[in-house]
Structure 1
């Protein structure tokens, strides 16, 4: 008797499933097609992005080679093109490299390019800081110490990514301005920072030796 009931239940379930399929099959099929289309579209997008990245990487390497061959005009043009057309990661690198190429012929124009990067809020904080440091390096010979201080004092703060270079630039600028107190301040920060690179520490010690001795009270 129980087997009979089981067969009846199975028939009822089959009839219910058939009715559900007849009623909703169009939606089920449409949903499945949408899922397939979405997966296919995403895979296609990933493929195109990977292709763009590979092409940009090759073009970037070619631009670097041109720079290393001292073909700065060609390298500048290549980096400038990448800065406009390449995927986002390569765009920023290309902007930084383009500015470096411009610096070989027109430091002031390069400073403007670095300043544009530093002011770009879509750029990461570390990259903005790097642009400020590079601009300051180009201005070391021409800008006065107060101007350089305004530009990169925040970059020299404890914990800042490029603080070591910022402190060295400020120490050099202060020394050139005969501001012994300021130069000593930055040199002391370099000396007392346990993470200062050895080569920079050596340069700072050499500059420290050029300063007059501290007056005894």
Structure 2
């Protein structure tokens, strides 16, 4: 008797499954096709991205080779081409390298390179890390020639606590203020550098030299008045 009941139960289950299949077979097949197509599409996309990155990497290396050979104008054009065509990672690096090549190709005339770095610094899609780095790179080119007010307008926001390139920005501004004979501003940035526990040792040593120069000039001025 138990075998008969089991056979009946099995027959009922088969009938239910057949009814479900008859009712939903098209839906099940469609879902399966979509899953397979989705996996295939994703694999194709991964392959496409990989190929594009490979091409960009080769073009970037070719541009680096031109730079190492001292062909800065050609290297700048090659990096600019990569920046316009490559995936985001390579594109950002290529924009920085193109700006650097402009500086190398025109020593003593940093205007074009500064403009290129300025465009990167103004590009909000890159995020503050890249933007701050571009502003500091422009500052490095300008510190010997630009007025202190110009440099301050570019770098002052980067000196805030927590900004990754604040140490370099503060040091550049201290040096620029010193060259402008603005002792108060020079000391303000020196104090910021000295008070920051995360200031690198190299920066501390350089601003200590700057502090000594200020003290020496102050003493010389005082002695001159006495004389």
TM-score in terms of structure 1 length: 0.92
Inter-partner Cα distance in structure 2 for 1:147 and 1:11 = 88
Inter-partner Cα distance in structure 1 for 2:188 and 2:153 = 16
Q: CA deviation at 1:171?
A: 0.8
Equivalent residue number for residue 17 of structure 1: 17
Equivalent residue number for residue 146 of structure 1: 149
Q: Does the alignment pair 1:159 with 2:162? A: yes
For this pair of structures, how many residues does the alignment match? 216
Q: CA deviation at 1:68?
A: 2.4
Equivalent residue number for residue 123 of structure 1: 126
Inter-partner Cα distance in structure 1 for 2:68 and 2:203 = 25
Q: 1:49 to 1:112 in 2, by over 3 A?
A: same
Inter-partner Cα distance in structure 1 for 2:110 and 2:205 = 28
Inter-partner Cα distance in structure 2 for 1:25 and 1:6 = 27
Gaps of 5+ in 2: 223-227
Equivalent residue number for residue 66 of structure 2: 66
Q: CA deviation at 1:3?
A: 2.2
Q: CA deviation at 1:101?
A: 0.9
Among candidates 175, 182, 190, match of residue 178 of structure 2: 175
Q: CA RMSD in A?
A: 1.9
Gaps of 5+ in 1: none
Equivalent residue number for residue 204 of structure 2: 201
Inter-partner Cα distance in structure 2 for 1:67 and 1:196 = 33
Inter-partner Cα distance in structure 1 for 2:134 and 2:115 = 10
Q: CA deviation at 1:206?
A: 2.0
Equivalent residue number for residue 102 of structure 2: 102
Inter-partner Cα distance in structure 2 for 1:111 and 1:176 = 20
Q: CA deviation at 1:20?
A: 2.2
* 3-state secondary structure, aligned to 1:39: helix
Per-residue deviation, residues 101-132 of structure 1 (Å, max 9, x unmatched): 11222511111111111111111111111111
Equivalent residue number for residue 225 of structure 2: none
- Relative to structure 2, which stretch is displaced further, 181-190 or 122-131? 181-190
How is 1:2-13 mapped onto 2 (pairs within 5 angstroms)? Answer: 2-13=2-13
Among candidates 111, 115, 118, match of residue 114 of structure 2: 111
Q: 1:208 to 1:68 in 2, by over 3 A?
A: farther
* 3-state secondary structure, aligned to 2:215: coil
Q: 1:93 to 1:171 in 2, by over 3 A?
A: same
Per-residue deviation, residues 29-51 of structure 1 (Å, max 9, x unmatched): 22111100100110111121122
Q: 1:195 to 1:65 in 2, by over 3 A?
A: farther
- Relative to structure 2, which stretch is displaced further, 200-209 or 178-187? 200-209
Inter-partner Cα distance in structure 2 for 1:90 and 1:24 = 48
